[in-house]
Amino acid sequence: MKNYFNLEVSSDLDYEGMVVNIVYIPQNNNFLESNDENLKIIHKQEVLAVLNQDKGVENIEIKLYPPIGKEYWDFSYEEFIQIFKKAKKLLIQSNQDQK
């Protein structure tokens, strides 16, 4: 099963520069929410990690978060490495744009 990730650039009061959140969106974990006016699909999302470069580009730090409601994360090596490479590239670019 392929997993889905979203990269979110944001500011965080705990860090000087911009950070990148890696958000995990599990496949087949959508549910419907309805009210009188509309029906929408809600995605269950969890933050997997936050990357920051407060100590410089060569010293990017990763804060990993545990999964909610299960014992461990389960990803293929390649998708795990690729999402972190994309997050690092986005983090560096975002902080350069801030200067």
Q: pTM of the predicted model, to two decimals?
A: 0.76
Spatial distance between the Cα atoms of 82 and 7, rounded to a whole number of angstroms: 12
- Domain that includes residue 12, residue range: 4-97
Q: How far is CA 26 from CA 4, 29, 43, 73, in A?
A: 6, 6, 8, 11
Give pLDDT, residue 16: 87
- Tens of pLDDT, residues 15-71: 888 899 999 887 655 544 545 555 544 457 888 999 999 998 899 999 999 988 889
Interval 4-9 mean pLDDT: 88
Give pLDDT, residue 92: 92
Give pLDDT, residue 32: 45
Give pLDDT, residue 97: 79
Give pLDDT, residue 12: 84
Instruction: Read off the pLDDT band of 14 (50, 70, 90).
Output: confident
Domain count along the chain: 1
